[in-house]
Structure 1
Amino acid sequence: MFYPKTPFLGNSLLEGEILKVNSAALSQLLEWLCQTPRVTTYRVNRLRTNVDTHKKQLKDVLSKRYGQRAPRIYGLADLPEVLCIAPLEAELVLREPDPTLKEIIVDTSCGAALLRGAHIYAPGVLAMESNTQLQECVNVYADLAGKCKRGTTTRYESSEKVFLGVGKVLMQRYQLYNNKDEAVTGIAVEMQSNVSGVPSLGDLSCADALLQNLPSIVCVRVLDPQPGERILDMCAAPGNKTTHIAELMGDNGCVVALDNSASRVRGMQTKLNSYRSIQAHVYDSTKAVAASSDAACPAAPPFPCDSFDRILLDAPCSGLGNRPQLLCSIKQAKVLQSYPNIQRRLLGQAVQLLRPGGILVYSTCSVTEAECEGIVAWALRKYPELRLVDATPRYGGSGLPLPDLEATQSSLLQRFGPCKDIDTVGFFIAKFQKDSK
């Protein structure tokens, strides 16, 4: 086991009675959250290129790095836009640090990313030993306790640091820590190998293909957008699902993307500008329903009731499905319990904005019952016009059983959790249809 346990995560979940599972299931879940998903997935933009072309490009990159032992690249039958990169063979996976190498320390966010195959960007480097030279290989550790001071020159000694891999230095200390006039950007350390078995390739995302978690891709396939429809993405940033919606529609129709953060909307604007069907607005989706219903649907929010054919509500959540979880001081129960309130408010707006017969997909990147099955049970009680339909294509398991959810209803939900068949982040998807008037 290369990763730390997260006891505070377990305590918070149990204190707040947010995830009601037995101790054995909780132990399995915590261990799973600490591990890294070992399959890497790319979503190919088939409006710009074809999958075979991008597959060849990926093969070339992997072959240069790993030669004849490059990991396999494969597709998925129900997701023709997806390419998967298998993990490295066991004998290629790094196991122990090299005692002859110097060390650098990174924060836990950076550490989790490099275990997924990323390189280390300058802001993530907390400490680098003195006299570390360009092109020198170093052991990379994550500071779990968060006590390492930025710019430390000596070896950081701590029982709460964990070895993650070996990297090649591309920036020296003076470049990282002595420039006070502007933030340092770029790759500081190029990872050569890591302990997770995920190929260290950096982010190969481009306009033709995007590095994206499989459940996020499945989520938009469950929405099943069709050409010519009017679709709302209520919490759109960073825009990856928004662009996927437009691609599946053939960029033919209208995709309204809302987010309440101006900086996040600015950040995704360049990505969205490549699609004629997408309209992005800085707007709070908890207020997206107009006070009065006009005959014509306005171009900007708020919108009258029954304005959209399909709605994606990828709701703000605790993010407790993200893997690997390296940070021990996880969110407290009181914070975790605040998310269902905003999720219910958003879902209430979505029900009003959805036309009769329309489709609403609710999703989170969380594993807590309160943010997932609990919201579904609440929605079915609150809005009798909603009914669950099967969240297909199906790559995850069924939802957790609840007293107020029938077994047949739970089976229609899709939950990504500890599973032998597929290794992804934690995620949840529910698909509703609004009854016709």
Structure 2
Amino acid sequence: MYPKSPFLRNPLVETQILQRNPSQLEELMRWLCQPPTITTYRINTLRTTVSAFKQKLQATLCERYTLPPKICEIPSIPEVLCISPRSFNIVDIKEKQSGLQREVVVDSCCGGALLRGAHIYAPGVLAMEAGTKLNEQVLVYADLAGKCKQGTNIRYDSLDKLFLGVGVVRMQRHQIFGPPTSSTLAPLKGVAVEMMETVSGVPTIGDLSCKEALLQNLPSIVCVRVLNPQPGERVLDMCAAPGNKTTHIAELMGDKGEIIALDKVANKIPVMLEKITSLGLKSIRAYNFDATKAYSEAKEAAGTECLDMPPFAANTFDKILLDAPCSALGNRPLLVGPPNMSARMLGSYPKVQRKLFSAAVPLLKPNGVLVYSTCTVTEGENEGMVAWVLEKFPQLRLVPATPHVGGIGLEQTGLSDTERQYVQRFCQHAKEIEGVPIDTVGFFIAKFIKEY
């Protein structure tokens, strides 16, 4: 159903993903090209209850589908609601496909999003045939080659376009591609095509994110639960943007304590601050700062001014979340890959991750907790990084990353069998909860305690 991306056929990428496990490579590649099957919401329990938002979700699904998909809960992560994939017949989509005349083409990024349940927003549309009418049902394709020009008004013929599903037009061509009007500075934004059915089976409900709940990947939620922040603690989020994990930390702490959120990209800070402000969270302070330089050996440990601003003195934080910059090869579906990925770029991520660890370890108090996570599947950034940390920092002890929703670590990566059981690798072998396979993006989590 899904093509194997030319990017993923790159031998460089293949060897980086599974350096010592070639027998698992083909299976992993197929999995990476497919979208996750579950949709996950994280409920903000400071503003609502899980049962209240569950009722809202059920009402939306019942309104859209005669046989709505199942909503399940995860007992170890009570703020989570998971929507299962729909039971549907691909033949029905193919029958619709044969009866429809017009096509809409989207870019690969938009295509990946709609396979996960999104609608098509105007900026994602590349081509819409002339004469397409409002409320007309259309066939939707993704341009995998990246050769379709935005604004194309004829049928886009290419061997590298992928059929995604059927949608209903909610904006006409002139609204999507037309010049700015006197009352706007840009073409109209919003939902251009409302998806009705997709080949993934993931329910298409758009994004119901609001102050009460956030559409978020399950492993990202799990890693904050593994950190287990408590009210009154001092927590460092080293690479915080866009702030979803940061706000989750604050919610679990009841917004009582202190959270320092750092990010080295300046233009990400205002977006994060806006999110924090809209949620009314008081415990978070965000700074534009390179976390690799967050530790200062010379910094005085005493005094409010010294404690509040980066860089920080040793033994400053009770807990640290190191959600590291990574190659992001777990962000499914990988319909196409990063165009500029090279051996040098792939090799750069472990170097940055090691620098971040070197800053994090002295900042952590004795008996403090450090959680490391990535959204990639490469061995070198995951199990290999854990093995390096355990050798480099004898004061760190690897402990079970609970709640354990993902799988175990890879074999032959420098970790013992026990250590492999402690880490979490979200990969192609999904667990089931209430009979629903917990099929997610690729992700990795490890938890350490600083003993001295």
Q: TM-score range by the shorter chain?
A: over 0.9
- Match of 1:356, SS state, is strand
Q: CA deviation at 1:192?
A: 1.1
Is 1:208 matched with 2:249?
no
Q: Aligned pair in 2 of structure 1 residues 107, 354: CA closer, same or farther (>3 Å)?
A: same
Match of 1:35 in 2: 34
Q: Aligned pair in 2 of structure 1 residues 400, 112: CA closer, same or farther (>3 Å)?
A: same
Match of 1:87 in 2: 85
Structure 1 letter corresponding to 2:336: L
- Match of 1:338, SS state, is helix
Mapped contact 2:112–2:333 kept (Cα < 8 A): yes
* Cα distance in structure 1, aligned partners of 2:445 and 2:386: 10
Is 1:245 matched with 2:249?
yes
1:323 to 332, 336, 351: 332
Q: Aligned pair in 2 of structure 1 residues 289, 22: CA closer, same or farther (>3 Å)?
A: closer
Q: CA deviation at 1:18?
A: 4.8
Structure 2 letter corresponding to 1:138: V
Q: CA deviation at 1:137?
A: 1.2
Match of 1:431 in 2: 447
Match of 2:140 in 1: 140
* Cα distance in structure 2, aligned partners of 1:374 and 1:413: 12
Structure 1 letter corresponding to 2:312: F
Mapped contact 1:94–1:194 kept (Cα < 8 A): no
1:336 to 346, 350, 368: 346
- Match of 1:401, SS state, is coil
Structure 2 letter corresponding to 1:269: L
Q: CA deviation at 1:389?
A: 0.6
* Cα distance in structure 1, aligned partners of 2:382 and 2:448: 14
2:281 to 257, 269, 275: 275
* Cα distance in structure 2, aligned partners of 1:198 and 1:404: 37
Match of 2:317 in 1: 308
Match of 1:78 in 2: 76
* Cα distance in structure 2, aligned partners of 1:81 and 1:193: 28
Structure 1 letter corresponding to 2:268: R
Query: Higher mean Cα deviation, 109-118 or 32-41?
Result: 32-41
Match of 1:116 in 2: 116
Query: Higher mean Cα deviation, 122-131 or 419-428?
Result: 419-428
Query: Which runs of structure 2 are paired with 1:363-402 in the superposition (5 Å)?
Result: 363-402=373-412
* Cα distance in structure 2, aligned partners of 1:284 and 1:79: 31
Match of 2:237 in 1: 233
Match of 1:219 in 2: 223
TM-score by length of structure 2 reads 0.93
Match of 2:268 in 1: 264
**Superposition misfits of 4+ residues, deviation over 6 angstroms:** none
What are the superposed Cα offsets for residues 254-303 of structure 1, whole Å, 9 maximum, x if unpaired? 01111112221111212212211111111111111124131234212111
2:192 to 169, 188, 213: 188
What are the superposed Cα offsets for residues 176-214 of structure 1, whole Å, 9 maximum, x if unpaired? 212255254211111111110011100000000000111
Mapped contact 1:93–1:193 kept (Cα < 8 A): no
Mapped contact 1:145–1:328 kept (Cα < 8 A): no
- Match of 2:103, SS state, is strand
Q: Aligned pair in 2 of structure 1 residues 7, 26: CA closer, same or farther (>3 Å)?
A: farther
Match of 1:415 in 2: 425
Mapped contact 2:409–2:420 kept (Cα < 8 A): yes
Unaligned 5+ segments in structure 1 are: none
* Cα distance in structure 2, aligned partners of 1:217 and 1:138: 36
TM-score by length of structure 1 reads 0.96
Query: Higher mean Cα deviation, 263-272 or 245-254?
Result: 263-272
- Match of 1:27, SS state, is helix
Structure 1 letter corresponding to 2:216: Q
Structure 2 letter corresponding to 1:170: R
Query: Higher mean Cα deviation, 41-50 or 10-19?
Result: 10-19
Q: CA deviation at 1:99?
A: 4.5
Mapped contact 1:16–1:333 kept (Cα < 8 A): no
Q: CA deviation at 1:337?
A: 1.5
